[in-house]
Amino acid sequence: MAAAPAPTGAKIVERVGGTGASAPDAAPTLKPFPAPTPTATAAGMAPTDLAPAASATPPSALPPPANGGRAAFLVAAPQDVQKPTVSLGSVVWSSPPANPGQGGGPGVRADVEIPDLKLHATMLLRKNVDPSLPASHTIDLRLAFEDGAPFKGVKDVGVPQMRREETPTPTALLGVRVVINDSYFLIGLNRTDADAQRNMDAIASSGWFDFPMLLPDGRIAKLTFEKGVDGDKIIASALAAWK
């Protein structure tokens, strides 16, 4: 049997009813960059990579918050992209039920708070049950900014990357993303058997989600949050239900 075609940005836009979203090949390229871990250093990194700021405590070095896992938002400093500004936060995981009448099993939801930036982000990962949408799973990423937030939107978001605690090198998931607007992004993960298996293995075996971003002023940034104990359990349960 012939492999199913990889998802296209146009099809995903059509599926969600978007009218002004950019196709993946029209958006700026977002280079992956390492996570803020104690082992990440400037040595061997490309000039556009982000290493931990010398004056900031890496989120991976902090104890988990009482009500969830660790999270952070990194923004490259214009004068030295090797030393980003790091704003710390937390993530809470939950498992929303399947949409009524659609099946597909439970979803995976992460609610991220970055207090210093007055930013709330919600990621929702679900198995795709719509045969007209060429994706194995979908990821919704929505951002909300309170009054007084230092920025009010994001120009672009890359396909998320999965990272283990002990290494700063991420594994990018295979898929395409569509910009619905500056606070809503939709990602369709490739549905070919090999790509879908690779993506689910990466999600299962990694400890952190990294979303590379491009801010309206051209600075690169990254939203990163950990699975932790709660996220591991919820994701493992969802992966089992999706088989």
Question: How far is 83 from 166, CA to CA, in rounded Å?
Answer: 20
Question: How far is 238 from 143, CA to CA, in rounded Å?
Answer: 24
DSSP one-letter code for 61: G
* More reliable by pLDDT, 66 or 135: 135
To the nearest 10 degrees (0 to 180), the angle between helices 228-242 and 193-205 is: 150
How much is the average pLDDT of 17-31?
38
In this structure, how many other beta carbons lie within 10 angstroms of the beta carbon of residue 34? 23
The answer as to whether 103 is a domain residue is yes
Q: pLDDT tens digits for 204-225?
A: 999 999 999 999 998 999 999 9
The answer as to whether 97 is a domain residue is yes
Instruction: Indicate whether this model's pTM tops 0.85.
Output: no
CA atoms lying within 13 Å on the CB side of residue 151: 17
The answer as to whether 27 is a domain residue is no
The answer as to whether 86 is a domain residue is yes
Q: How many domains does the chain have?
A: 1
What is the pLDDT at residue 98?
Answer: 86
The answer as to whether 40 is a domain residue is no
What percent of the chain clears pLDDT 70, i.e. is strictly above it? 72
Identify the domain containing residue 118 by its residue range. 9-16+64-242
The answer as to whether 90 is a domain residue is yes
The answer as to whether 191 is a domain residue is yes
The answer as to whether 54 is a domain residue is no
